[in-house]
Structure 1
Amino acid sequence: MNKKQFLAVAAFAGILIAAATASTAIAQQPAIAETIAAPITTPFGIYSPYQPPTFRAELGRKEPAITGEFTNVQTPDQLQWDQDFTQAERALLRRTNVLVRPEAAGTFAQLYAQADGVPAFITTDAVLHGLRVAINEAELRIQRHYLLPSLRDLMSRFSAAMAGQLDRARNTPAYEATRRTLAWAQTASRLLDPNFSPDPRVASMVQEQAEQIEQGSGPAQSPIIPGVRVNPSNFLPAQQQLDAESARYFRAVAWLSTIGIEIGPEADLLQVRMVMIASRTLEVLQESGSAASFNDLSDLLAFFRGRADHDVTPQMVGGALRGFYGSYGFGSAGTGTDAEVRQFAEYFAEQAPTQLQGRAYQFHFLPGPQSVHGALVAQGKLGEFGTALVAGLAGEENSFAGMFLRRAPEHWTQDVSWVTLYTLQSYVDGGEFGEGFPRFMRTDAYRTRLRLSALGGWSDFQHTSTLLPASTAVAARQAITTAQKASTERGYVELQPRTWGRIASMARYLRSGLVEGRFGDLLGTQLANKLRDIENTSAAMMRIAALRLADQPLTAAQQELVATMPERIAAYETFTDASLQPQGMPIAAGISVGGKNLRVANGHPLAMYVIVPNDDDAEQPLVLARGAIYSYFETTASAEQWVDAITGHDDAAPQAPEWVGGLVAPGANFAQDAAAFRTVGGTLRSVAPSYEPTLAERRNTPATAQVELESNVVRRGDGELWFTVQAPRMNGATIAVAVVDANGRVIYRSSEIRIENGQRFDMVPLENITNGNYFLRVIDSDNRTIGSGRFMVVR
């Protein structure tokens, strides 16, 4: 059924709901952020959550206490308690059943490879770090094979269109603005390619601006944009190991996304004209199909780098131009008198989305980056940041409350940083572990470990893997041998079903956007398989953790999957395309960029020993297992100073936060000799089977729906937003659709509509919806949100 047929045979009865009187459950937010229980469609992809199986914890109820000198704890023959553990370490293990300590290893895979017969304890940290490495490779691959060529082509087409306009603009008020807009666009082309030849009419401006960015020593007036100062330090790539092409790409994107051009009522008219001309030109190119990649380019950049919510975008200006000039006058936008241009600037301010009201109107061609970490660090203090961040994620009222509390589910999926925070939240907001949980999970030490891992995971996503030069360490690549693999055959899984589910959901979200979504396959077979394997194994670990907590046996296939995990972790930490990674030995440690007074950092992964119930031996009903977890530090060191500190080349070794005292024995040395590091490489032999919910899980999981929006950006003048609800399990059921603004207010709700043949094709009227960002939520008969999507309305 097409739109005309639909409108001819169906009436979509809508109910506008005043925000002040809305009482529907849709707008209700708990004190802490909601758990994402239904699929969310975003401009990037579809976040579809894995729901952990329900279970009753029983495993710990029959767990005995440790006797004597660990006489009832099963260990490999070669392990000697008095030689392999200090007195302080043994005391911690005896008291809490868990111990964390530094050991000589640069990666998670190396820690698992040198298990020396101790059964493996597969941690969420190890797999999450593997996902971090996969994301790093994905960014580099997408940049090389998609973003860079797309940006080069877009700016070439844009410059060609601008050059033609400049020919026609001679002797008009728009000539100088058109010339400077051409220079602005060709500066991006010149930054991408040092051999680019600018149009002779703007060549001197382009060359001066490019040299100012590439060679300048301090802020200086832009030769292209009047009144704008350009700081060369903002164009220095954060990753110093980037190759020359990547560094050029970084500078070009920074030029188009961080240098704002004003368009407000008080702005310089030359700048206003530049914005009008640039936006009109892009609109024309998109309509002709010549710049179809612009939205894809913008949305991919926004997902990986964040999107500043106060930026003026080309879509906003384009919509305002059409509203001001109409369809027939649109082609002349920006070429009229000064009075006309000033009138448009005032009109734009009136039409601007709510989140822009009262701000300086800064136009950015590409989305300006929004650093979630930068916003967090700005509110933190050295030595106190981590504690405050964990408290905020756990739902406490503190300096981070404004960012976390009552956050709508859709907000957690807007970019990779927020998805990461949502994943890490599961480490610290799960409440207390009761009597049925193993003893080590009921201790303060284990809760400290969860806090350490949440912060270490956040730090991990603020940097890429550090690369040590070959002269620093022996880069002897080794596979996991048969003897090493034997130690994993009785491996154990971290008993955190929620966290495993969040990691699986995050991997699925990335795969949805980068392999199966609107952008097409951006990863290639090997990297896509790695994401799929991380998703599938994490989902399997979610079920295994729930089964073990319920003291239920595992199948042979589940036991075999656990046994392969150290080998898989090695594969997760290995780039599938070695050409994307500069030369050197990658280690997991690293430090965040930016921030002179506070930086978060990872040292080397830490070994974690846990004593867990053992069903196989009545005389030794406990067993010692060993895994790998994140480390976390707060420092003011530079990247170079940090590497020196953690590899023993600095007199001052890293100091762990004071609050880890009950988890790590006193005097632990977190600096390691890099000569002991080995690169434990790996390749996936096969992809783990997809997760299939059991019949009981299906019965216990309410039906959900996926929302397919016709467009993520819609003009109010179009009159309606069309969408499709896909809900195969709800055929014949009635639903309603609501539009919710960014503050959680319901501004529109439909009457009841019916799912037919597993789907519903419908629309939302837009005439009473103002410009801004909104969520479209699908509501079932119990007022439960079963699916949602995000969209933006422009004039």
Structure 2
Amino acid sequence: MSLRRALPLLTSLLFSGALAAPGLPQSALLPGLSERQQQVLGRQGFVIAPTRYAHFSDVYGRTKFQGQPALVTTDAVLHTTHLVFAKLLRDLERETFLPALTSLTGLLVQDGLKQLQALKGTPLQADARRAVAYLAVAQALVQPSSRPPAEVAGLVAAELKLISAHQGFAVSPIFQDTARTDTDRLKEDYSQYVPRGHYAGSEALERYFRTMMWLGRITLRASNPAETRTAALLTGLLTGNPEARRLWTRLYDPTTVLIGASDDLTFRDYAAALQRVTGHEVRRLSDPAVVKRLQQTLKALPAPRVNSMWVTDEEDRAQATRGLRLMGQRFTLDASAFGELVYDKVGTRRDPRTLPRGLDLMAGLGSDTALILLKGMGEDRYLNYLPQMEKVRAGFAALKPEDWTRNVYSGWLYALGALARPEARDTRYPAFMRTPAWTRKELLTALGSWTELRHDTLLYVKQTYTTYAVSGPIEPPEPPRGYVEPNLALWKRLLDLETLTRKVLDEQKILSVTTRRNLDELRGTLTFLETASRQQLAGRPLTLQDYRRIETFGGWLEQMRVRSSDPAEPGKPIGGETEQSAAVVADVATDPNTVRVLEEGTGLIHELYAVVPDGRGGQQLARGGVYSQYEFTVPLGERLTDEAWRERVSRDEIPPPHPWLSDIVVR
């Protein structure tokens, strides 16, 4: 029998009661689905019903209470992976990175003042003062009680005012005197300094966020002689102080293996260049010829692959963006792909493609369905879009598993690749998993998990900027025979991701007891899900103990949510953000042309109903939880925090759902 004919038959049997599990009333199996939801369920074997659940555990708690079979979804497990990762990152930031950052900025300001005193009356005095001002801003952000040195107090106050206002692009006061022309001024996007993601609401993490954003975004350009001299002096401070180097390494190296390496030149790159040109003799930088040789040496080094600065289409991007960032934001594969798919790579001055879409990433990862959807939206009308997309797809396809697993962030993307381009599915899989509609549902899942990844790493990931276009002890009864979504490739890649996360934390000696326990729990469940999936696909029933584990899956989700929460801060609710709605938001790209940013958000948890095997040779209706996900733009100065987004979600002031989900998410 064909799939098209089989699905309505299965569903009609289900609604007639013929497929009800023994001992369970039919009312316990059939939720109050609308007529349209029943029609969609009958047509394709599954349907997503919008609900008001704040957490995945709520869906599974209700399912258990009502005695219904549970469907363990990839969405629920990916969400728990996000909670574990966000928790370990918050703990590292509070307990390891923030103290190191506080000590590092204090040391560098002290050494910078000594350097300024030593260079007074020389041609390098202004550069040394600029270096102190730059470092003093970082110190003021991480330690607000500190007082900036009198020599730079005015400059520091001007920068802090712009950071506090966070309204958008402005010329940096500290570096305004380095410009040789009006177009050469160093512009910074101060809207980036709004604490968001998991940083908002925690006084300590907000300080860490602003400081790392400052050190991660301000670029001392190699094309600018004054900024090159300042960068060289900053490099000298680090190379000359072993404790400062140790603290910098304590911050940089662990975040590299978690998220990725800096996309910009680091002090290590500058130290090697300085050794070659000056032998670390600072005063030789007074000679313009020496500075020019240093600039030529730096010009031979790689330019950033992701642009996150104000650059016009009249500038040489490599020249305009190559330079030192003291704690540079990181290169990621998704940000790189986005940079290939916006102006000035795609579109024209008259018709630029100003912002990417989340589906761009899915298409790049190999999803033909995503590419078809993008064409249906008219994205291929932009000049060079399709050739550039083929370039992105070819680049991703050429990567080997070891390339994807060099850090945890790219390993996560690799896991999502199993959803973007699922393996072929034969008749061992449930009928609904072999429908074109399910392929689109998996794109929704991938986008939801990717949104959480970007949310967790918002501070570190280098955001794509479009080029500016000028112009019980009691034995319970037999549980319902639930079902695990048998996505073997995803379970395997998530297990590999857990192994990678544990390995890099162990190697960096930053694996805490809490994180080890959470990773142990995650591995145990992932191993079970992989084993259960293989059993199901082989047509073998699970044990009663396995079915009980599926039945209580919601309890495990709740336990992991609590374990991934933080102790209460004074005046804050217990548990921090994990006690609130699971909805999160992250800005992922910026367009100076329209002065808008692209936001990706997850909303409330929806219910998924699907016809699945019942473990007895028949079929049944099972329920599980899935993401809701939204893509929209906001003005540059209104980057959303989780709190602001959750307010919108609670009031139903959310963007329309993706049009390609119209026959999947049904009211």
TM class by shorter chain equals: 0.7 to 0.9
Whole-angstrom distance in 1 between the partners of 2:598 and 2:155: 39
CA contact (8 A) 1:377 1:598 kept: no
CA offsets 1:140-181 (integer angstroms, 9 cap, x no match)? 221111111111111222223333333333333333322322
Pick the aligned partner of 2:232 from 276, 287, 301: 276
CA contact (8 A) 1:89 1:99 kept: yes
Worse overlay, 541-550 or 329-338: 329-338
The TM-score with structure 2 as length reference comes to 0.76
Structure 1 position 149 matched with structure 2 position 143: no
Whole-angstrom distance in 1 between the partners of 2:584 and 2:172: 35
CA offsets 1:20-56 (integer angstroms, 9 cap, x no match)? xxxxxxxxxxxxxxxxxxxxxxxxxxxxxxxxxxxxx
Whole-angstrom distance in 1 between the partners of 2:443 and 2:166: 43
**Amino acid aligned to 1:223:** I
Pick the aligned partner of 1:578 from 567, 573, 578: 567
- The match for 2:493 is 502
Structure 1 position 592 matched with structure 2 position 586: yes
Whole-angstrom distance in 1 between the partners of 2:535 and 2:155: 67
TM-superposed CA distance for 1:518, in Å, is 1.8
Whole-angstrom distance in 1 between the partners of 2:478 and 2:454: 33
Q: Secondary structure at the match of 2:127?
A: helix
Please identify the structure whose Cα radius of gyration is greater: 1
Structure 1 position 393 matched with structure 2 position 396: no
CA offsets 1:118-148 (integer angstroms, 9 cap, x no match)? 0211111101101112222222221111111
Q: Secondary structure at the match of 1:368?
A: coil
Structure 1 position 317 matched with structure 2 position 305: no
Distance 1:223 1:570, change over 3 A: same
Pick the aligned partner of 2:414 from 399, 406, 422: 422
Structure 1 position 298 matched with structure 2 position 286: no
Whole-angstrom distance in 2 between the partners of 1:148 and 1:590: 24
**Amino acid aligned to 1:279:** T
TM-superposed CA distance for 1:374, in Å, is 5.6
Structure 1 position 359 matched with structure 2 position 349: no
Whole-angstrom distance in 2 between the partners of 1:217 and 1:494: 45
TM-superposed CA distance for 1:342, in Å, is 2.4
TM-superposed CA distance for 1:355, in Å, is 6.6
**Amino acid aligned to 1:392:** G
Whole-angstrom distance in 2 between the partners of 1:232 and 1:659: 35
CA contact (8 A) 2:482 2:614 kept: no
Distance 1:333 1:411, change over 3 A: farther
CA contact (8 A) 1:382 1:635 kept: no
CA contact (8 A) 1:118 1:487 kept: no
CA offsets 1:48-94 (integer angstroms, 9 cap, x no match)? xxxxxxxxxxxxx9x99455444332253161678722333333333
Pick the aligned partner of 2:59 from 111, 115, 124: 111
The TM-score with structure 1 as length reference comes to 0.65
Structure 1 position 536 matched with structure 2 position 524: yes
Unaligned runs of 5+ in 2: 1-5, 180-185, 306-316, 343-352, 372-385, 458-471, 570-574, 591-595
CA contact (8 A) 2:338 2:361 kept: no
Whole-angstrom distance in 2 between the partners of 1:337 and 1:191: 34
Q: Secondary structure at the match of 1:607?
A: strand
Whole-angstrom distance in 1 between the partners of 2:585 and 2:614: 39
- The match for 2:404 is 412
Unaligned runs of 5+ in 1: 1-60, 466-480, 669-795
Pick the aligned partner of 1:233 from 170, 191, 201: 191
Structure 1 position 450 matched with structure 2 position 442: yes
Whole-angstrom distance in 2 between the partners of 1:648 and 1:183: 44
CA contact (8 A) 2:222 2:323 kept: yes
Whole-angstrom distance in 2 between the partners of 1:660 and 1:605: 15
**Amino acid aligned to 1:533:** E
Whole-angstrom distance in 1 between the partners of 2:128 and 2:523: 50
Distance 1:373 1:168, change over 3 A: same
Whole-angstrom distance in 2 between the partners of 1:451 and 1:434: 20
TM-superposed CA distance for 1:448, in Å, is 2.8
Pick the aligned partner of 1:168 from 118, 121, 145: 118
Worse overlay, 537-546 or 231-240: 231-240
Higher helix share: 2
Distance 1:83 1:502, change over 3 A: closer
CA contact (8 A) 1:321 1:333 kept: no
- The match for 2:467 is none
Whole-angstrom distance in 2 between the partners of 1:386 and 1:262: 31
Q: Secondary structure at the match of 2:27?
A: coil
Whole-angstrom distance in 1 between the partners of 2:31 and 2:196: 44
The RMSD of aligned alpha carbons is 3.6
Q: Secondary structure at the match of 1:242?
A: coil
- The match for 2:555 is 567
- Between the two proteins, the alignment pairs up a number of residues equal to 572
Distance 1:504 1:182, change over 3 A: same
Whole-angstrom distance in 1 between the partners of 2:447 and 2:277: 49
Q: Secondary structure at the match of 1:606?
A: strand
Q: Secondary structure at the match of 1:84?
A: coil
- The match for 2:427 is 435
- The match for 1:706 is none
Whole-angstrom distance in 1 between the partners of 2:646 and 2:433: 33
- The match for 1:223 is 174
CA contact (8 A) 1:222 1:230 kept: no
**Amino acid aligned to 2:39:** A
CA contact (8 A) 1:508 1:532 kept: no
CA offsets 1:738-762 (integer angstroms, 9 cap, x no match)? xxxxxxxxxxxxxxxxxxxxxxxxx
- The match for 2:308 is none
Pick the aligned partner of 1:635 from 632, 636, 639: 632
Distance 1:334 1:102, change over 3 A: farther
TM-superposed CA distance for 1:302, in Å, is 4.4
Higher strand share: 1
- The match for 2:18 is 72
CA contact (8 A) 1:258 1:368 kept: yes
Whole-angstrom distance in 2 between the partners of 1:70 and 1:657: 33
Whole-angstrom distance in 1 between the partners of 2:150 and 2:94: 30
TM-superposed CA distance for 1:517, in Å, is 1.7
Q: Secondary structure at the match of 2:148?
A: coil
**Amino acid aligned to 2:392:** M
**Amino acid aligned to 2:556:** R
**Amino acid aligned to 2:424:** E
Pick the aligned partner of 1:98 from 46, 50, 55: 46
CA contact (8 A) 1:382 1:634 kept: no
Whole-angstrom distance in 1 between the partners of 2:117 and 2:657: 64
TM-superposed CA distance for 1:230, in Å, is 4.3
**Amino acid aligned to 1:593:** D
CA contact (8 A) 2:498 2:523 kept: yes
CA contact (8 A) 1:602 1:633 kept: yes
CA contact (8 A) 1:190 1:197 kept: yes
**Amino acid aligned to 1:282:** L
CA contact (8 A) 2:56 2:625 kept: yes
Distance 1:112 1:81, change over 3 A: closer
- The match for 1:491 is 482
TM-superposed CA distance for 1:556, in Å, is 6.1
CA contact (8 A) 1:72 1:622 kept: no
TM-superposed CA distance for 1:504, in Å, is 1.9
Whole-angstrom distance in 2 between the partners of 1:598 and 1:496: 30
TM-superposed CA distance for 1:426, in Å, is 0.3
- The match for 1:738 is none
CA contact (8 A) 1:280 1:331 kept: no
User: Identical aligned pairs, as a percentage?
Assistant: 22
Distance 1:564 1:332, change over 3 A: same
CA contact (8 A) 1:511 1:532 kept: no
Structure 1 position 127 matched with structure 2 position 77: yes
Q: Secondary structure at the match of 2:600?
A: strand
Whole-angstrom distance in 1 between the partners of 2:492 and 2:360: 25
CA contact (8 A) 1:119 1:626 kept: yes
Structure 1 position 520 matched with structure 2 position 479: no
Distance 1:459 1:322, change over 3 A: same
